[in-house]
Amino acid sequence: MGRLLLAPMEGLVDDVLRDVLTRLGAYDLAVSEFLRVSGSVLPVRSFRRICPELGRGSRTDAGTPVVVQLLGSDPACLADNAAQLVELSPAGIDLNFGCPAPTVNRHGGGATLLADPEQLFRIVAAVRRVVPTVIPFTAKMRLGVRDTARTLDCARALAAGGIVSLVVHARTRDEGYRPPAHWEWVARIKDVVQQPVTANGEVWTTADHARCCAVSGTPDVMLGRGAVADPFLARRIRALAAGQAIDSDRSLDWLLLQPLLASYWQQVCGKVSPRQAPGRLKLWLGSLRRNFVEAEALFIAVRALRGVEEVSRVLRRHGVPVVPAAG
């Protein structure tokens, strides 16, 4: 059984959802949402905002290590910020070369850098110089911008720059999140770099995980949207690897998920404004509908609601043990 990593997903998986998902165990590592670096050294509070786990040993409450991901295009600026981050003793530092968002790419960051392997090398080499070897230094890439013409050159550049491992989201920037993921390209990348390579993209089920490992040739997989849609996915993958049977009836899983939904909701209400909190819950429920009929019913029940208290009342009616507000 290889490693299972929880993917960074900007705007979706923050410290609250990382807390909930890692409570179910089974993850070897989680990666934070990216912290955008541009033009100056960010204050310590910026690193702690994106990764509050830095205040408790760079681990979730369940003990899962959390790597902090940086995004930018200027080698010197990224290196200066990485040096600042090193002082906070993260479980690792990761560089984002895979974000497909237009707002990021317009500023020369994320996946658009895959058009320039030489710049990838300059960035990684600059950051490598300031990150001590005791802190794992990694990167995440896609297969390219529009095509795979420079995929292997990009992987070689990142490896030569000094990363210790590489995650490959097996789609190009322009493919976004459209299936399929081209896992066969992960195998091709493995053939040209010495560092361990982790596959990422389009793993929604235990069967997807098995196919991904077989096609990519790597036992290590990063779970993203599939983990959000099925919080038990990593646990089910490990159970199958251990020769245990897994139940196709998800009703028991839903009962186990209810207190975690309550914890998520209450943490979100404590973190964001009352106006924003319902939207965050609906976003997760929208993903959970893929695997749980109960989530579909709950999503429909809260979809039109905007008030925190009315959402809490509906959650309780659906068996989610939300504690009523004091007074």
Catalytic residue IDs: 99
Q: Which two tokens stand for residue 110?
A: 């994320």
Q: d(Cα 325, Cα 323) in Å, to the nearest integer?
A: 6
* Residue-wise DSSP of 1-22: ---EEEPPBTTTB-HHHHHHHH
- Cβ of 129: how many Cβ atoms within 10 Å? 12
DSSP, collapsed to helix, strand or coil, labels residue 82 as helix
Distance CA 304, CA 274 (A): 15
Spatial CA neighbour of 143 closest among 111, 105, 177? 111
Q: Quick one: which of 259, 309, 308, 288 has its CA closest to 300?
A: 288
Contact 92, 65 (CB under 8 A): yes
